[in-house]
């Protein structure tokens, strides 16, 4: 696999000389992001746009493929499934799952593109850029690199153990074919590298940008995720401070009706911090993701009984859960992005990496974990639920212990953020083990918290180190 990945990295990260900072239109086509083709601000902007193509997972059909962010984590958490028969990942049996290598190739494509930008832009004289644009370009690239490395740490590293040697394979240099061998980093060193990139993005990324480009606020939201996984006592105060900064100082505002984000507003919603914009005419292509939430393509991704039951007596059930999928018992059409029977549209093909709702929920979780006021966390949670149309808060009112409140926050994370960017899975694994066993009995061992490193990595990177515990290589 790694040889194939490297050739994709060197050959597919190509950029259009006319796209610059405009919308993600045509696929990049003229120059490689290897540092040598970055000559000035214009070519730096072109290279950065190419990295955003990697972030949006634009493929050779010129469509975004945000599937791996929306579906597999929700499968691992037990709330979604494959509509034509279960995948082994739905039982947390990753070695036999079709999705065992999610994020691996796409993350390293993104990392390599950003490393090319960082190398090339750093070598240019500051005078070749207007204002603070050089720092901004580097900060956006470092945000994307941090995002990708954190995905890899979260799904392939023992992110929950700072003493573990099983961290991410950190790539800080543009990969050449003869420079593949590299050992994975420890978990502690992985966090250090990721947080350094995030802090640079917070300090230097633009405050204002289009909804599909990174800002300092997106970097703050990413840092909140990273710190929650890092999970040390001093992290939670940072999380609440970051949340307050975003809530009080940014332009982002909660959407009064959550449903409107997905059915009417998309990236124009005031609470979307960073989203994925579909390519031009993407909705007309046959094999797009929103078509696969309703029979019409060769795949079908569905809600499972666990999600339907969770939404019982919740007004969101009316627009998230459709009729039963007769092909597989206990599954239902998933309607978050597309109404049952509708055809794909620009709106249904839009995806979401960070929303303000997550910021509120992470703030509440950090308050609870730090020993803060349960009532303060309860108030935040009820405000979030109220914007989704919920009026019955009895379960939240009855949550009088730390574990009870953590459980209620997690359940709202599922109801609100299901199938967006994997938070229903990561938030589950942050819970105390007793709650994980209650909510997801098949995730009964920390071996099942992470995936096996793809076999190809060991074939072409002999310095990588051992396979993750619990998996044979």
In this prediction, residue 298 carries a pLDDT of 83
Paired residues of 301 in beta bridges: 82
Which range scores top for mean pLDDT: 3-17, 178-192, 235-249? 235-249
Q: Helices 133-156 and 187-204 sit at what angle, rounded to 10 degrees?
A: 150
Asked if residue 133 has pLDDT above 70, the reply is: yes
pLDDT digits (tens, 9 = 90+) for 26-42: 434 433 455 568 999 99
In this prediction, residue 178 carries a pLDDT of 58
Kindly tell me the burial class for residue 309, based on how many C-beta atoms sit within 10 Å of its own C-beta (0-12, 13-18, 19 or more): exposed
Kindly tell me the burial class for residue 370, based on how many C-beta atoms sit within 10 Å of its own C-beta (0-12, 13-18, 19 or more): middle
HSE (CB half, 13 Å, CA atoms) of 279?
A: 24
In this prediction, residue 34 carries a pLDDT of 56
CB of 280 closer than 8 Å to CB of 289:
no
And the tokens for 333? 């059409």
Pairing relation of β-strands 272-276 and 321-324? unpaired
- Which of 95-99, 126-130, 345-349 is predicted least confidently? 95-99
Asked if residue 6 has pLDDT above 80, the reply is: no
Percent of the chain with pLDDT over 90: 87
pLDDT digits (tens, 9 = 90+) for 170-197: 999 988 755 689 999 999 999 999 999 9
In this prediction, residue 379 carries a pLDDT of 98
In this prediction, residue 453 carries a pLDDT of 97
In this prediction, residue 29 carries a pLDDT of 45
In this prediction, residue 36 carries a pLDDT of 66
Q: Helices 104-122 and 41-55 sit at what angle, rounded to 10 degrees?
A: 170
pLDDT digits (tens, 9 = 90+) for 372-382: 999 999 999 99
Q: Helices 402-417 and 356-369 sit at what angle, rounded to 10 degrees?
A: 170
In this prediction, residue 433 carries a pLDDT of 95
pTM of the model: 0.93
- Give dist(CA 461, CA 467) in Å, integer: 12
Which of 331, 314, 320 has its CA nearest to residue 80? 331
- What is the sign, positive or negative, of the torsion defined by CA atoms of 157, 52, 134, 40? positive
pLDDT digits (tens, 9 = 90+) for 54-110: 999 999 999 999 999 999 999 999 999 999 999 999 999 999 999 999 999 999 999
């Amino acid at each position: 696999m790694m040889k194939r990945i490297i050739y994709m990295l060197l050959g597919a990260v190509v950029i259009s000389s006319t796209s610059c900072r405009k919308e993600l239109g045509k696929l990049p086509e003229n120059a490689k992001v290897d540092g040598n083709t970055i000559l000035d601000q214009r070519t730096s902007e072109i290279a950065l746009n190419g990295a955003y193509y990697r972030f949006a997972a634009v493929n050779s059909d010129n469509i975004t493929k945000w599937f791996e962010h929306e579906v597999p984590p929700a499968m691992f958490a037990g709330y979604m499934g494959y509509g034509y028969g279960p995948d082994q990942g739905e039982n947390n049996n990753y070695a036999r799952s079709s999705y065992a290598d999610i994020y691996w190739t796409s993350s390293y494509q993104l990392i390599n593109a950003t490393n090319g930008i960082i190398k090339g832009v750093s070598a240019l004289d500051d005078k070749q850029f207007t204002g603070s644009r050089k720092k901004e370009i580097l900060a956006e690239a470092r945000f994307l690199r941090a995002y990708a490395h954190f995905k890899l740490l979260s799904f392939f590293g023992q992110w929950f153990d700072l003493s573990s040697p099983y961290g991410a394979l950190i790539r800080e240099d543009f990969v050449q074919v003869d420079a593949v061998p590299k050992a994975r980093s420890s978990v502690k060193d992985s966090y250090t590298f990721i947080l350094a990139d995030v802090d640079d993005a917070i300090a230097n990324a633009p405050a204002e940008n289009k909804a599909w480009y990174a800002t300092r606020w997106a970097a703050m939201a990413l840092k909140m995720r990273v710190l929650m996984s890092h999970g040390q006592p001093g992290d939670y105060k940072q999380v609440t401070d970051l949340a307050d900064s975003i809530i009080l100082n940014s332009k982002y505002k909660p959407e009064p009706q959550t449903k409107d984000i997905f059915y009417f507003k998309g990236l124009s919603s005031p609470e979307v911090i960073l989203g994925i914009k579909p390519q031009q005419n993407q909705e007309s292509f046959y094999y797009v993701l929103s078509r696969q939430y309703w029979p019409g393509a060769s795949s079908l991704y569905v809600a499972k009984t666990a999600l339907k039951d969770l939404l019982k007596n919740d007004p969101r059930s009316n627009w998230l859960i459709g009729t039963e999928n007769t092909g597989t018992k206990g599954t239902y059409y998933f309607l978050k992005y597309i109404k049952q029977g509708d055809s794909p549209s620009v709106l249904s093909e839009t995806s979401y990496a960070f929303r303000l709702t997550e910021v509120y929920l992470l703030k509440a979780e950090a308050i609870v974990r730090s020993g803060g006021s349960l009532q303060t966390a309860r108030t935040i949670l009820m405000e979030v639920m109220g914007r989704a149309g919920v009026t019955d808060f009895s379960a939240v009112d009855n949550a009088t212990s730390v574990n009870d409140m953590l459980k209620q926050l997690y359940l709202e994370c599922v109801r609100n953020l299901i199938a967006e960017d994997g938070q229903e899975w990561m938030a589950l694994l942050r819970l105390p083990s007793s709650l994980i066993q209650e909510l997801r009995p098949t995730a009964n061992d920390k071996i099942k918290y992470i995936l096996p490193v793809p076999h190809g990595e060991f074939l072409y990177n002999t310095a990588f180190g051992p396979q993750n515990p619990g998996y044979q290589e």
